[in-house]
Amino acid sequence: MFRIARVALAATASLIAMPLAAAPLTAEESQALRDEVRALQARLAAIEARLGEAPPGTAPAAASPASAPAAASAAASVASPDATVIGWKGSPQFTSGDRSFKVKGRIQLDAGYVSKPRGIVDRGLGFSNEVRRIRLGGEGKLGSGFGYKLELELSDNKVGLVDTFVTYDRGPWQISIGNQNQFQSLDELTGDTTGSLMERAAFTDAFNFERRLGIAVQYHRKDILLQAGVFSDDIDALADSSDGPNGGDENNSFSIDGRAVYAPKLGGTQVHLGGSAHLRMLNRLSDAPTRYRQRPFLHSTNSRILATPNIFVDRELNYGLEVAAIHGRWHTAGEANWLDAIGPGPNSRFFGGYAEIGYFLTDDSRTYRNGIFGGAKPSSPFGKGGIGAIQLNLRYDYLDLNDGAIRGGTQNGWFAGIIWTPVEYLRFNLNYGYLAYTGAAIRAGGRTDYGMHVGGARVELDF
């Protein structure tokens, strides 16, 4: 089709040019014909640029000021609003009008070491390594405000669904239906490939934060972000097989969740103030107990140093506060989170929180968008005149699983991390931490109060 158009335009230009040689013209007529020929040449050049096959040894004719509007009009007529544009954001991204599609993926490879206090017999400690996550999927827009995201993840030697939902956007509003996060905390919602350390704060795991199936509504305008939703349970817990061989569809768990964020920009400082609240009715296999427990930081070990005994819980009330700021190379963040485990027996209240500070050694800054932290796009990528982005992070991490007769132990953790981002989408993460435990669930020669050193390294690719 474009070849036919090219031939037709060339023939037309020749026909127009023929009278120039056949008969004398006034200066005005000659200039008008020349402008028309240049406009046709510009249209031909635009078509050939789309095809990527300009004739060898030729170049588009330079347009005179009089012919520039015609050339612009010609180029605009070629760029159809439905034309497919292929971009690159770590992987191919296809855009056609208000529709788009992008391939998404993630690779995280971990290795680490947890010291063994004298007297502990636990094969989960010492050296360990794993494929932390392998994720593959895609996201896109269907047009008319509708979009989607679908991701499969290999983790803990099983494949499961992570973000899997359909969205509808209209102005400042967004509705999402499917498997998704429930707005639990800043650290939980920040991506695992853009976080400050290899793993999130201890309370996010101990309090069983996870994606669940539900419907959520978000409102975001200027400095205000409001999020709310109603959720059932995680996909695995909703499966028939989770009820046992004699069970049925017994899982009627649901929760009501909400989060509010105020994020003004004060001069050169991005401020984040947030709070969340969650009420969950377990309603599943009511005779099954619940435990709250936590690893010694690394996911590659399956040892739970802190753990409550079995508790019969009917409902959970969770609420938290968030504060953070970004200023140039610096960032700081802190959270406090409480969990009330309510059941037929005495109620229990547990607490967790952290405080952190980070600084870039290079001329880079942490990004922030839609109420969460993002990663860094190196200002001077490796191999292109720079070394990439280098960030140092320090964190204090506290967890208390003691309340009354329930003794799950406490953790005081001090962590340091260095993150090297040579190019966008690729990070190398090196962490060290010291964990001081009181009332640990795993005894060390009769002792329940002791300390442990932990170190870890991760290679992570996210696109």
pLDDT for residue 33: 65
**Residue 459 near residue 428, CB atoms below 8 Å:** yes
**Residue 25 near residue 33, CB atoms below 8 Å:** yes
Residue type, 414: W
CA atoms within 13 A on the CB side of 27: 0
Q: Nearest 5°: phi and psi at 192?
A: -70, -15
- On the 0-12 / 13-18 / 19+ scale of CB atoms within 10 A, 80 is exposed
**Residue 459 near residue 111, CB atoms below 8 Å:** no
Residue 1, both tokens: 């089709």
Roughly what angle, to the nearest 10 degrees, separates helices 2-22 and 27-51?
160
Specify the residue for token string 């669930």: 441
Task: Compute the distance between CA of residue 194 and CA of residue 208 in angstroms, rounded to an integer.
Answer: 21
Q: How many Cβ atoms are within 10 Å of 180's Cβ, its own excluded?
A: 21
Task: Compute the distance between CA of residue 366 and CA of residue 334 in angstroms, rounded to an integer.
Answer: 16
β-strand 212-221 against 84-88: which pairing, if any? unpaired
pLDDT for residue 57: 45
Provide the residue-wise pLDDT of the chain in tens; the chain has 463 residues. Answer: 444 444 444 444 444 444 444 445 566 666 666 777 677 676 666 666 655 544 444 444 444 444 444 444 444 434 455 678 888 888 999 999 999 999 999 999 999 999 999 999 888 899 999 999 999 999 999 999 999 999 999 988 788 999 999 999 999 999 999 999 999 999 999 999 999 999 999 999 999 999 999 999 999 999 999 999 999 999 888 887 766 655 556 788 999 999 999 999 999 999 999 999 999 999 865 567 899 999 999 999 999 999 999 999 999 999 999 999 999 999 999 999 999 999 988 899 999 999 999 999 999 999 999 999 999 999 999 999 999 999 999 999 999 999 999 999 999 999 999 999 999 999 999 999 999 999 999 999 999 999 999 999 999 999 9
Interior angle at CA 450, CA 444 and CA 454, nearest 5: 100
Task: Compute the distance between CA of residue 374 and CA of residue 363 in angstroms, rounded to an integer.
Answer: 16
pLDDT for residue 14: 47
Q: How many Cβ atoms are within 10 Å of 418's Cβ, its own excluded?
A: 14
**Residue 339 near residue 318, CB atoms below 8 Å:** yes
pLDDT for residue 37: 65
Beta strands in 49-145 (DSSP E): 84-88, 92-96, 99-114, 126-143
Domain borders along the chain are 2-78, 103-462
Determine what percent of the chain falls in helix, strand and coil, rounding each to the nearest 5.
Answer: 15, 50, 35
String of DSSP letters for 24-52: ---HHHHHHHHHHHHHHHHHHHHHHHHHT
Specify the residue for token string 């439905």: 82
* Architecture category of domain 103-462 in CATH: Beta Barrel (2.40)
Task: Compute the distance between CA of residue 211 and CA of residue 217 in angstroms, rounded to an integer.
Answer: 15
* Residue 254 Ramachandran class (φ > 0 left, ψ -120 to 50 alpha, else beta): beta
Element (H, E) at 457: strand 450-462
Task: Compute the distance between CA of residue 410 and CA of residue 440 in angstroms, rounded to an integer.
Answer: 7
Task: Compute the distance between CA of residue 82 and CA of residue 47 in angstroms, rounded to an integer.
Answer: 16
**Residue 250 near residue 232, CB atoms below 8 Å:** no
Identify any residues that bridge with 227 across adjacent strands, giving them in sequence order.
Answer: 218, 259
Residue 308, both tokens: 């409550």
**Residue 311 near residue 304, CB atoms below 8 Å:** no
